[in-house]
Structure 1
């Protein structure tokens, strides 16, 4: 059996999210469309005179205005509304509310991807991905994804489109296919489109790595990330074929100038080994010694021309990758959220978690607690009741203050005795 390495991690943070989480939300359509953030951040506390139902009604009215705002003529106004809608869908589970507006939101996403540029396309694709996460697996998600799939592929493969918009379409295509593909042939079709993009970073005929702008490198990384997510759901019968056709090509991406693409390629190779060894414990790819030499070089890279943060991230990632390939040791991480934990046992679960975290950002914990779809994917069971008669009582502000005050006094008494000169040993 593979050995496990346990690493404890804290709750998902906003810094892990995709672009846009640190920007203020606003709109020129209405003077108060910029308020969803404040509503989302104001959680009612026990003892406070807050009507949770009223707060929910206000939030839903704001979201309706944001949806309407995506049809305005101003491009900046549409982007502001899409940004607000993205934050609302990421930070709250609103399945019932979204269910009645799924067609309207889907139409807005389609319109903005078709007619928008760069940022607008990226935001619209993010909103489309969040729409599927809110709806969960089922006929509704499948219908919306099938309606948008051709547009996503067309935009992804359009070299005249902005790389930022294409990258978001790649993530939408990957996660949408993961959640709502009707059969595995659809999955393979999407994987082929994604590979057509990131394969442009394979080594050239003379053995040198192609040079790309940071925006194109980010696009290739997004396409590879989405491709690897779909690899994680490959049926066991398809794994040998995928190993034969792709595992030999991926090591060439380890020579890319982009650190994120190198790490993504390394983790894809590690996932291939994990999947192959589930069927054959003795699996090893051809030229594995040459691969290990490359991986060790990246795990000990100290080139000063790379940023210190990039070097640290790269070394940490490739140490884990080497352990998987050489020692058959799979990573085992623990994610804490609320009163629960999520165990990421291996590269497959890790890739799936990271895919959702990239879309949900700071709302990852909320969705892990309340979203039935995510809880089903990660085997967390039914949502735990956090409010109502069956929920554990949360101390109010006065009770917390009183407890902290008493604990402080107790610590002071103990420390005073310990510091008393009369107890000093001479």
Structure 2
């Protein structure tokens, strides 16, 4: 799976389907329960019997039959961790899903893309997920190079996820990063003569998928020269009209700072002004100053008449977190209650928060089930005991208040140490 990911909101499928598809989906989503009477008469595991029937339906010529089967399979993948069932079927499932992407409608492509992502996430890292990535990547990239934007958010999610789980090295990861970036910044693509204009939801989805995949490069040393175009374009997206695009770009920039992709080290005390490395240093310092100013503005943006207050508040909260991190070193923290046995899932960095938000949104209602039983998620995240379990509401508030005080003291100490180091460096340079 994505290297360096360990220590380093609902499903989109329904959102991307047209309203005309609603009746078909709602009727097919009950396919598991419709087969319930058969459970008592068949000498097979009930769930396996239903799932085998759904797989058989993917061979049918009628598109609506395949679509209904995909809805049932997606529902099953969300509701259960189906590792025992798919261990000997992953190659067949992967090929059937890819066939649906090749010849299916937009609806079928969206469902099949989601199914491939869930398949990869369920089977976890290793040769099987690598095979899924290799087989699906050409078709996913073909759709991203096409013109039907209704499919793209689901395809972007799928491409990021199968690469996150299945890539063996940086070269494989970079193939997907490049394909996704060409949606974010079309001018960087090969067909510069026909620059595409992507709708804001597609751009926001692309940035989110790209950032999720970017979290896996933290253990590789990166040359800041390679990130000049990216930080410059993300800076322009902070000024986009669409709030979702601005917020996605902000998270990507926060990750840039955390991974130190903008840091340039100068070996010489007094480098020549024409030295390329010195010029890169000056450029990155300027970009840091620019985006920091933009983030400060977005953290305090006024609502204005007719503004969407909820999304505005979400924007303010996000960019305030980014500002606190860049200026004072305050890393974002979030906890999710998983179960009484497993306790809580805690994240405390932009890398982990971006991974959590992506997987929580992708899995939707199935997130808790997978957090409890999917070993891949236990490789990615830290799970711990919820020390407030069993306490009264008042005791919980007191405990969490004390935790916040300890965190503030720790962060203040870290900030003072960082400021002292910075001051020491400045004195040495003088």
TM-score of the two chains, using structure 1 as the length reference: 0.72
CA contact (8 A) 2:153 2:202 kept: yes
The equivalent position to 1:373 in structure 2, one of 376, 391, 396, is 376
CA contact (8 A) 1:78 1:120 kept: yes
Deviation at 1:242, TM superposition (A): 4.4
Q: Which moved more, 1:81-90 or 1:283-292?
A: 283-292
Whether 1:307 and 2:301 are equivalent positions in the alignment is no
Deviation at 1:107, TM superposition (A): 1.6
Deviation at 1:376, TM superposition (A): 1.2
Deviations for 1:43-63, whole angstroms, at most 9, x for unmatched residues?
xxxxxxxx99x9992222111
Are the structure 2 counterparts of residues 73 and 27 from structure 1 closer, same or farther at C-alpha, using a change threshold of 3 Å? farther
The equivalent position to 2:150 in structure 1, one of 142, 146, 164, is 164
How many residues were matched structurally? 344
Are the structure 2 counterparts of residues 323 and 145 from structure 1 closer, same or farther at C-alpha, using a change threshold of 3 Å? same
CA contact (8 A) 1:194 1:223 kept: yes
The equivalent position to 2:11 in structure 1, one of 17, 20, 43, is 17
CA contact (8 A) 2:227 2:262 kept: no
Q: Could you tell me how far apart the structure 1 residues matched to 2:242 and 2:184 are?
A: 12
CA contact (8 A) 2:346 2:382 kept: no
Are the structure 2 counterparts of residues 243 and 278 from structure 1 closer, same or farther at C-alpha, using a change threshold of 3 Å? closer
Look up the match of 1:411: none
Q: Could you tell me how far apart the structure 1 residues matched to 2:181 and 2:197 are?
A: 17
The equivalent position to 1:197 in structure 2, one of 183, 186, 189, is 183
Moved over 4 A (4+): 21-28, 37-40, 210-213, 277-281
Whether 1:273 and 2:257 are equivalent positions in the alignment is yes
Look up the match of 1:227: 210
Structure 2: runs of 5+ lacking an equivalent: 1-8, 189-194, 266-280, 386-430
Look up the match of 1:188: 174
Whether 1:34 and 2:26 are equivalent positions in the alignment is no
Deviation at 1:32, TM superposition (A): 8.3
* Aligned-partner SS, 2:334: strand
Q: Could you tell me how far apart the structure 2 residues matched to 1:273 and 1:55 are?
A: 57
Whether 1:317 and 2:296 are equivalent positions in the alignment is no
Tell me how large the CA RMSD over aligned residues is: 3.5
The equivalent position to 2:246 in structure 1, one of 259, 262, 269, is 262
User: What does 1:48-127 align with in structure 2 at a 5 Å threshold?
Assistant: 57-127=45-115
Which of the pair has the greater relative contact order for Cα pairs under 8 Å at 6+ separation? Answer: 1
Q: Could you tell me how far apart the structure 2 residues matched to 1:72 and 1:27 are?
A: 18
CA contact (8 A) 1:17 1:360 kept: yes
Q: Could you tell me how far apart the structure 1 residues matched to 2:363 and 2:235 are?
A: 30
Q: Could you tell me how far apart the structure 1 residues matched to 2:34 and 2:14 are?
A: 16
* Aligned-partner SS, 2:304: coil
Deviations for 1:52-93, whole angstroms, at most 9, x for unmatched residues?
9x9992222111122222232332332222111111101201
* Aligned-partner SS, 1:255: coil
Are the structure 2 counterparts of residues 33 and 262 from structure 1 closer, same or farther at C-alpha, using a change threshold of 3 Å? closer
Are the structure 2 counterparts of residues 33 and 319 from structure 1 closer, same or farther at C-alpha, using a change threshold of 3 Å? closer
Structure 1: runs of 5+ lacking an equivalent: 1-14, 41-50, 203-209, 385-426
Deviations for 1:227-280, whole angstroms, at most 9, x for unmatched residues?
111211113411634444422321111122222111110010011111118989
Look up the match of 1:336: 337
CA contact (8 A) 1:106 1:128 kept: yes
Deviations for 1:106-142, whole angstroms, at most 9, x for unmatched residues?
1221111111222211110000000001111111111
Q: Could you tell me how far apart the structure 2 residues matched to 1:123 and 1:91 are?
A: 16
Look up the match of 1:295: 295
CA contact (8 A) 1:25 1:37 kept: no
Whether 1:151 and 2:125 are equivalent positions in the alignment is no
